[in-house]
């Protein structure tokens, strides 16, 4: 997966307007491939190592610095990840969504924080989301989760 996905230039998200249908398809394919990789990697390795591997990418040299997404565009990538993974079979819950978005942002040269939170009442639950400079890009669970770890 790494060799194939690294060869292609990542889809840039325009600040205004919609993606061309071919760019949408490429982005959906990138999201699907990364989700498969993340799901299988989580079965074999601890989450810290999976996150490190997902972030260990060099931003694509063909992507001009001026086209690096800002906060709004990073949020749009998060929205694209949520919408695309909702349509795919398999486990696409919060942790997988967060890992996929972490990889997409890393490929575009954007540092982000993967947050894992928990709550104990009325029952124990865990939740994961991604933040960019303290702003959630994925649903943080409505403030019901206390931060447990930041990766």
Express each pLDDT in 74-127 by its tens digit: 888 999 999 999 998 887 889 999 999 999 999 888 889 999 999 988 899 999
Residue 58: other Cβ atoms inside 10 A: 9
Specify burial of residue 53 (Cβ count, 10 A radius: 0-12, 13-18, 19+). middle
- pLDDT band at 13, cuts 50/70/90? low
Mean pLDDT of all residues in 8-23? 66
Structure confidence at residue 126 (pLDDT): 93
Distance separating alpha carbons of residues 56 and 73, to the nearest angstrom:
21
Residue 131 phi/psi, 5-degree rounding, is -120, 145
Query: Could you report the per-residue pLDDT of 29-81, keeping only the tens digit for each?
Result: 999 999 999 999 999 999 999 999 999 976 655 554 445 457 778 888 999 99
Structure confidence at residue 58 (pLDDT): 63
Tokens 């760019």 sit at which residue?
Answer: 23
The CA-based diameter of the chain, rounded to the nearest angstrom, is 50
Whole-prediction pTM value?
A: 0.82
Listed in order, strand segments (DSSP E) in 1-151 are: 113-119, 125-132, 135-136, 146-150
């Amino acid at each position: 997966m790494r060799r194939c996905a690294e060869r292609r230039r990542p889809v840039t998200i325009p600040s205004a307007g919609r993606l061309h249908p071919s760019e949408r398809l490429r982005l959906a394919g990138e999201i699907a491939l990364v989700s498969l990789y993340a799901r299988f990697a989580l079965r074999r390795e601890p989450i810290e190592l999976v996150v490190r591997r997902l972030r260990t990418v060099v931003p694509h040299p063909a992507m001009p610095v001026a086209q690096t997404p800002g906060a709004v565009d990073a949020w749009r990538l998060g929205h694209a990840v949520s919408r695309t993974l909702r349509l795919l079979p398999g486990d696409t819950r919060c942790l997988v969504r967060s890992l996929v978005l972490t990889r997409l942002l890393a490929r575009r040269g954007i540092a982000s924080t993967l947050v894992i939170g928990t709550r104990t009442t009325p029952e124990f639950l865990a939740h994961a989301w991604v933040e960019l400079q303290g702003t959630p890009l994925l649903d943080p669970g409505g403030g019901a989760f206390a931060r447990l770890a930041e990766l």
